Structures are given as structure tokens and as C-alpha cells.
Amino acid sequence: TPNVVVIGGTTIEVNDASSLVGREGARVELEGSFNASGVLILRESKLAVENTVRTEDRAAAADPAAGTVTTRLGIVITPTGDSRVEDDDADDDDGDRLTPEAFLNRVMIDDYIEARGYPNPDGSVTWRRIELDDDDDLECELRGPVEAISGTTAMDFSFEIQGVTIDVSQITSDDDFEGYDDDDIGRQAFFDQLDVGDVVKAESDDAGVGCQ
């Protein structure tokens, strides 16, 4: 007899819902195919997690033996078998889906890399998607949960994301401080609202000042 699960108000019959026991209220991803009776034959079920850590930057070092790429900001990116790895700069379809080993062997110093994933309790990141991009930009970008805040006023504060200190002292325009709805809120309001755990996106200027 098929099992029944309800996701987003939609009732789905599956062949075996035992892997979903205890996950009521959690976001999940289901993979499988429907049989002739409309029952979903599950191949895999897993908790869905938001990729709250994202970075765009140039490679400063690549170590295929260690399985890592390090960006100018010092972010260590480690592709795994669970990562979707692509080379958007490839001239053919060979770069569409790469193994971690093939990807690492392609990376050259100063290549532009985009990566996204989710943080683990031990501080590491599980990288879900990593791409080599054909991009001439010098800027860098880092998004993730705030780990620490330093300073006591809006004029002298900084904060950390993934161990990288975000120094906002060079930002002179209030228009460059945005709130939750991407509205300009100014330096003071941004500082007043900032808390550890907030997900913040920080971007360098076009020249990449601060990315090294």
C-alpha cells in the first residue's frame, strides 16, 4: 500500500515514506519517478537547505592534491561528489558537469569562480554549486551569516563572514547600505539592525579594492 506525504498542501503517494519519518515541518527534496498508478517511486529524499553562503572571486591558489581552491578573500572551496561543478568558460559541452577532480585540474590562478553552499555546525561549508566563469571583473563578493561584529558605533564597525573581516570604513555613501528588502537604509540604520547570524552580502568596488 502506498504511503502518503503532504508537501506544500499537495498530497503525494510514495512507495515508501519511511525515510521521511520525523521530518514533519522540514523542507525536503524528493527525487524519483511516478509509476503507472501515479505513485512516486523514491530514489532519494533529503533535507533541503538554503545556500546562504555565496562568493564570487578570483582564484588565488589551487591545490588538486588537497582538493581545494582558495580565493583572494581566503575562502577555501572544496568540491565534493555532492557539488554541481561546471566550467562556463569551456568552448564545448565538456564543462557542463565535471567531477571535482576534473574541475580542480582546470582551475588556473586568477580564474573567476562563483560558488554557493551552506554552512555546517563545525564552521565548514558544503559547496553545492561551483562554476568557472568567463568574467573580466576585478570585484569580489561574499554572502553569508555574520559570525562576529566589532566596533561600537556606525562609524567604526566591521563584521565577519566566513572568517573574512568586512571593513566598511571606505564606504562613503549611505546608498551603499541596504536593508532586508534591498532598500537603501543608510549606515546608521544598517548598524542598528545588524546582528550575529544575519545573512549579509558584501561587495567590493569595481576595482576589487579589499579583495586581496
Look at residue 43 in the predicted model and tell me its pLDDT.
Answer: 86
- Taking 3-state DSSP, the helix, strand and coil percentages for the chain, each rounded to the nearest 5, stand at 10, 40, 45
Pairing between β-strand 76-77 and β-strand 68-71 as defined by DSSP bridges: antiparallel
Q: Can you give the pLDDT at residue 75?
A: 97
Please report, for residues 92, 99, 108, 129, 146, the alpha-carbon distance to residue 87 in angstroms, rounded to integers and kept in the order given.
Answer: 10, 11, 12, 11, 30
Work out the mean pLDDT of the chain and round it to a whole number: 90
Q: For residue 97, what is the DSSP state?
A: S
Q: Mean pLDDT over residues 27-45, rounded?
A: 87
Residue 39 has pLDDT above 70, yes or no: yes
Q: How far apart are CA 19 and CA 23, in angstroms?
A: 9
Question: Which DSSP letter does residue 39 get?
Answer: -
- pLDDT, tens digit, for every residue of 110-157? 999 999 999 988 889 999 999 998 878 899 999 999 999 999 999 999
Query: Residue 81 is placed in which grid cell?
Result: 561528489
Cell of 56: 564570487
pTM for the model: 0.77
Per-residue model confidence as pLDDT tens digits over 70-122: 999 999 999 998 899 998 876 655 667 789 999 999 999 999 999 999 998 88
Strands 125-133 and 84-87: parallel
- Are residues 58 and 114 in contact, defined by beta-carbon separation less than 8 angstroms? no
DSSP codes, 159-192: EEETTEEEE-TT---GGG-B-TTS-B-HHHHHHH
pLDDT at 184 over 90: yes
What pLDDT is recorded for position 129? 93
DSSP H/E element including 118: strand 112-119
User: What pLDDT is attached to residue 143?
Assistant: 97
What is the 3 state secondary structure string of 124-138?
A: CEEEEEEEEECCCCC
